[in-house]
């Protein structure tokens, strides 16, 4: 049975307004939106007030990517609304907002035994699972694939109903009416959405919804307002972020609330063994209570600083029940695995590596664990009263966060309410739930609302870094330097599977490592399959258990697979006396989109051939679409200008040509691409974490060697016009940066750097 969206009349809603329920058959979902005096709710996505305000529900976490502008913009464009009347509110958790594409992408994480049974977004079992689990996680750039069409359908249905109400008044056919700037128009007649909304609720929307012929697209038209240039759809969250009123997790204040600080044990099997309560004698002013966890100790007080100082006096000590992870040991485990283990075949093309024989070129690449570097540390406010737990926190996976908190307190999940607040940058860090669970436990023990905030040191200690990798890339070179066979073997933890066990199964980090041990991980090696027309390709994962919990990070595997592959391609071109740009384009006959990106990036970056002394490097990358189709998705090519001097390595210019399909908001797309390039710069030159007896050596942001404002290069971005489905601009820009910089540094210095961060082994 193929499932389609239906619009159904459902009567009155809470608060005196009218509502139209919108659900996916055969599962019924009453509208999650509530109407309050004078408002009319149209489906699960929008409501119109008597004051003309159109409020759009957004079921995704705003973490700087602009989703609280993009989804309302889609609704406004399809509805024919005036952007100045658009407001936004976080959507409540409901099966009506299921993120089917992400559920399909993560099928092996939530259904690891038979992932092939749920690898299509339209498959019935996947839909039922996503709906039943209210799965609306924000990750992997799946927001637009998941929600553009439902938003358009809801807006189109509402537009039709408004037109029907106007047509009945005027005695005309509703199909002849037009919606524009918040009004329904017919000839010289017009009526506002606000005036028509109540009457519109009496009509049933047509099925299918009458979508506009053209999908939402931003053609880059900028309005001239006096001496100012005004974007047609400026970000809705910008004014409050500029004036400081935007609410983040640490801004929440409740009556009788106290503040908590925390100490975690070293990474690995560490348990709280003791602390010195006697040290608090004479220093208890403001201290409300001390709460012990198995692997942490927290203090609640009248201010966070009082709690932090009390923890220093308590001097918690932890007992190691197993050897903690240390960089030297981790590197040795990866080295042993890449040298001796066979690995598991993850992807193959043609004959795989069966024709390889002795490779003509085999190179080793290494990647250190990498930190997210979020400005905002973990923070959550919890209140437990009358068997009901309320949480205020930024979470990329809110339903799974509710489940984790409910399990920790022995509550039913229906007794946990999560109020979503924006994240000040997440980079996938807020996919983890530790701080929410801790805040809930502290609130239960203290008996008062509590706000837990991790210090920067605790954020570094408790993070789940991008996993370390040791890899060997091999190739057999045919005539004229063309690659006949390519093989990539990556020794690394099954990081995505570990994350899945934590998120969906509620396992502890150590239990998740054990559950994922020895299993091949598709997501851990994605992006390694070359976009080039290489006839025979094999990609293997050698799973390694290293004792260091690892997780998701912006760009994920693409951040290191692209680095390895594009550095390797550059070396092959060089060794065969071929110019890097033409060498790549010659292998891209089947991917004209990526070839065009390369040509445009070369023009934008004034490519001079990448020869010795030029300081220019090139890289490109393709990412598949939401359905896993490599012909869809996004493309990027990047030229980097870099060199060395008295101040060390400096990247001067990054020039990117990007094809992300149909662009809905050009300004946000540029913001995300520029931000992704800078994030990739941080991963290329810094962000690495060294572990010594389970403790990260980098305890501050400064220690991560992230780029400062003075380090930021000139950034040039060209967006390629396309009618393809829109693709997320925030992830793809991270991928090629490290490779382009490494290739540029080779052109500048003659040295090949095959380790991330690039300068971790010296220049």
pLDDT in tens, 723-763: 899 999 999 999 999 999 999 999 999 999 999 999 876 55
| pLDDT tens digits along 38-75 | 999 998 999 999 999 999 999 999 999 999 999 999 99
pLDDT at residue 25 tops 60: no
Per the model's pLDDT, the better-predicted residue between 21 and 368 turns out to be 368
Query: 3-state SS of the chain: helix, strand, coil percent to 5?
Result: 35, 25, 40
CB 741 within 8 A of CB 758: yes
Annotate 33-45 with three-state secondary structure: CCCECCEEEECCC
* pLDDT value of position 225: 61
Q: Which two tokens stand for residue 711?
A: 């380090």
Give the pLDDT band of residue 113 (cuts 50, 70, 90). Answer: low
Report the pLDDT averaged over residues 648-664.
Answer: 95
Residue 14 pLDDT greater than 70, yes or no: no
Q: What is the mean pLDDT of residues 208-229?
A: 81
CA distance 613 to 625: 38
* Torsions phi, psi for 289 (to 5 deg): 180, 165
Q: Is the pLDDT of residue 223 over 70?
A: no
Q: What per-residue confidence (pLDDT) applies to 224?
A: 63
Q: How many residues does the chain have?
A: 763
Q: List alpha helices for 98-221, DSSP H.
A: 100-105, 107-110, 124-132, 143-170, 193-200
Q: Which helix (H) or strand (E) holds 538?
A: strand 536-543
pLDDT given at position 124: 85
Residue 63 near residue 430 (C-beta atoms within 8 A): yes
Helix (H) or strand (E) holding 243: helix 238-243
pLDDT of residue 54: 98
Provide the mean pLDDT of the chain. Answer: 92
Residue 13: pLDDT over 70: no
> Dihedral sign, CA of 397, 251, 257, 293?
positive
CB 401 within 8 A of CB 438: no
Residue 6 pLDDT level (bands cut at 50, 70, 90): very low
Centroid of chain to Cα 671: 15
pLDDT digits (tens, 9 = 90+) for 311-350: 999 999 999 988 899 999 999 999 999 998 889 999 999 9
- All CATH 3.30.365.10 domain ranges of the chain, comma separated, are 5-99+136-214, 249-321+378-453, 341-370+465-756
Report yes or no: 422 and 245 within 8 Å, Cβ to Cβ: no
Cα dihedral across residues 594, 347, 130, 371: positive or negative: negative
pLDDT the model gives residue 700: 95
In Å, the largest CA–CA distance within the chain is: 84
On whether the CB atoms of residues 418 and 452 are closer than 8 A, the answer is no
Across the chain, how many H-helices and E-strands are there?
20, 32
- Please state which CATH number belongs to domain 249-321+378-453: 3.30.365.10
The full 3-state SS of 645-671, as one line of letters, equals ECCEEEEEEEEEEEECCCCCCHHHHHH
Nearest residue to 493 via CA among 557, 551, 544: 544
Fold adopted by 341-370+465-756: Aldehyde Oxidoreductase; domain 4 (3.30.365)
Pairing label, strands 18-24, 648-659: unpaired
Check whether 367 has a pLDDT greater than 80. yes
Residue-level pLDDT at 645: 74
Cα 393 to its chain centre, rounded Å, is 17
How confident is the model over 459-482, as pLDDT tens digits? 999 999 999 999 999 999 998 899
pLDDT reported for residue 480:
86
Residues 6+ apart with CB under 8 A from 117: 107, 111, 123, 125
Of the candidates 652, 592, 657, which has an alpha carbon nearest to the alpha carbon of residue 620?
657
The fold adopted by the segment(s) 5-99+136-214 is Aldehyde Oxidoreductase; domain 4 (3.30.365)
Write down the pLDDT at residue 161: 98
Asked if 508 contacts 559 with a C-beta cutoff of 8 angstroms, the reply is no
Which distant-in-sequence residues (6+ apart) come within 8 Å of 142 by Cβ?
99, 101, 102, 105, 626, 728
pLDDT digits (tens, 9 = 90+) for 577-618: 999 999 999 999 899 999 999 999 999 999 999 999 999 999
Looking at residues 524-528, what average pLDDT do you find? Answer: 97
Is residue 121 predicted with pLDDT exceeding 50?
no
Is it the case that residue 23 has pLDDT exceeding 70?
Answer: no
Report the DSSP beta bridge partners of residue 272.
318
**Over residues 162-183, mean pLDDT:** 98
How many CB atoms are located within 10 Å of the residue 484 CB?
17
324, 547 Cβ separation under 8 angstroms: yes
Q: Is the pLDDT of residue 117 over 60?
A: no
* pLDDT at residue 622 tops 80: yes
Q: 5 has which bridge partners?
A: 24
Is pLDDT of 244 > 80?
A: yes
The β-bridge partners of 228 are 225
Q: What is the 3-state secondary structure (H, E, C) of 301-365?
A: ECCHHHHHHHHHHHCCEEEECCCCCCHHHHHHHHHHHHHHCCCEEEEEECCCCCCCCCCCEEEEE
Tell me what percent of the residues of the chain surpass a pLDDT of 90: 87
Angle 744-745-747 (CA atoms, 0-180°, nearest 5)?
65
């Amino acid at each position: 049975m193929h499932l389609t969206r239906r619009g159904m009349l459902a009567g009155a809603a809470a608060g005196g307004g009218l509502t139209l329920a919108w659900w996916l058959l055969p599962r019924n979902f009453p509208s999650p939106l509530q109407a309050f005096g004078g408002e009319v709710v149209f489906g699960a996505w929008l409501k119109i007030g008597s004051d003309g305000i159109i409020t759009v529900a957004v079921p995704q976490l705003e973490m700087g990517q602009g989703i609280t502008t993009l989804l309302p913009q889609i609704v406004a464009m399809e509805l024919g609304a005036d952007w100045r009347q658009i407001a936004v509110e976080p959507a409540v958790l409901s099966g009506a907002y299921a993120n089917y594409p992400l559920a399909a992408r993560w099928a092996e994480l939530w259904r690891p035994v038979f992932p092939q049974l749920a690898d299509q977004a339209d498959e019935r079992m996947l839909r039922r699972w996503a709906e039943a689990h209210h799965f609306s996680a924000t990750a992997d750039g799946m927001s637009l694939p998941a929600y553009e069409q439902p938003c358009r359908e809801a807006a189109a249905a509402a537009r039709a109903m408004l037109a029907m109400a106007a047509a009945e008044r005027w005695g005309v056919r509703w199909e002849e009416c037009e919606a524009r700037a918040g009004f329904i128009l017919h000839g010289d007649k017009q009526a506002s959405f606000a005036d028509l909304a109540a009457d519109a609720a009496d009509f049933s929307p047509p099925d299918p919804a009458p979508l506009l012929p053209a999908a939402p697209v931003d053609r880059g038209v900028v309005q001239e307002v006096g001496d100012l240039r005004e974007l047609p759809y400026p970000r809705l969250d910008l004014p409050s972020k500029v004036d400081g009123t935007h609410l983040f997790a640490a801004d929440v204040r409740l009556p009788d609330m106290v503040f908590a600080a925390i100490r975690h044990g070293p990474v690995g099997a560490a348990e709280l063994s003791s602390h010195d309560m006697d040290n608090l004698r004479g220093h208890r002013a403001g201290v409300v209570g001390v709460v012990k966890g198995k692997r942490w100790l927290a203090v609640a007080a009248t201010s966070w600083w009082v709690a932090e100082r009390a923890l220093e006096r308590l001097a918690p000590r932890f007992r190691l029940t197993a050897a903690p992870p240390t960089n030297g040991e981790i590197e040795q485990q990866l080295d042993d695995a890449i040298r001796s283990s066979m690995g598991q075949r993850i992807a193959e093309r043609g004959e795989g590596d069966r024709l390889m024989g002795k490779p003509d070129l085999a190179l080793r690449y290494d990647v250190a664990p990498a930190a997210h570097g979020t400005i905002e540390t973990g923070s959550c406010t919890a209140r437990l009263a009358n068997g009901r737990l309320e949480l205020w926190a930024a979470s990329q996976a809110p339903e799974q966060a509710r489940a984790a908190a409910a399990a920790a307190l022995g509550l039913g999940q229906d007794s946990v309410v999560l109020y979503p607040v924006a994240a000040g940058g997440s980079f996938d860090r807020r996919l983890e739930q530790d701080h929410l669970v801790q805040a809930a436990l502290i609130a239960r023990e203290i008996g008062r609302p509590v706000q837990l905030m991790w210090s920067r040191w605790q954020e570094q200690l408790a993070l789940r870094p991008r996993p370390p990798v040791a890899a060997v890339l091999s190739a057999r070179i045919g005539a004229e330097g063309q690659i006949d066979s390519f093989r990539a073997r990556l020794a690394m933890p099954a990081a995505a599977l570990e994350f899945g066990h934590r998120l969906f199964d509620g396992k502890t980090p150590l239990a998740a490592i054990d559950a994922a041990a020895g299993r091949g991980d598709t997501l851990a090696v994605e992006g390694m399959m070359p976009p080039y027309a290489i006839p025979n390709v094999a990609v293997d994962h050698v799973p390694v258990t290293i004792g260091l919990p690892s997780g998701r990070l912006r760009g994920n595997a693409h951040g290191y697979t692209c680095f390895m592959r594009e550095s390797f391609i550059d070396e092959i071109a060089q060794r065969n006396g071929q110019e890097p740009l033409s060498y790549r384009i010659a292998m891209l006959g089947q991917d004209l989109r990526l070839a065009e990106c390369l040509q445009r990036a070369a023009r934008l970056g004034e490519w001079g051939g990448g020869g010795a002394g030029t300081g220019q490097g090139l890289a490109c990358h393709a990412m598949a679409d939401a359905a896993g189709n490599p012909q869809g998705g996004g493309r990027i090519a990047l030229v980097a200008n870099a060199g060395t001097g008295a101040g060390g390595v400096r990247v001067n210019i990054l020039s990117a040509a990007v094809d992300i399909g149909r662009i809905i908001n050009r300004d946000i797309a540029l913001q995300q691409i520029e931000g992704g390039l800078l994030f990739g710069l941080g991963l290329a030159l810094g962000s690495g974490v060294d572990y010594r007896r389970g403790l990260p050596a980098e305890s501050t942001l400064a220690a991560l060697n992230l780029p400062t404002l003075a380090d930021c290069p000139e950034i040039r971005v060209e967006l390629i016009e396309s009618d393809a489905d829109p693709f997320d601009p925030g992830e793809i820009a991270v991928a090629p940066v490290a490779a382009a910089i490494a290739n540029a540094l080779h052109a500048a210095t003659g040295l090949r750097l095959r380790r991330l961060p690039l300068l971790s082994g010296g220049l």
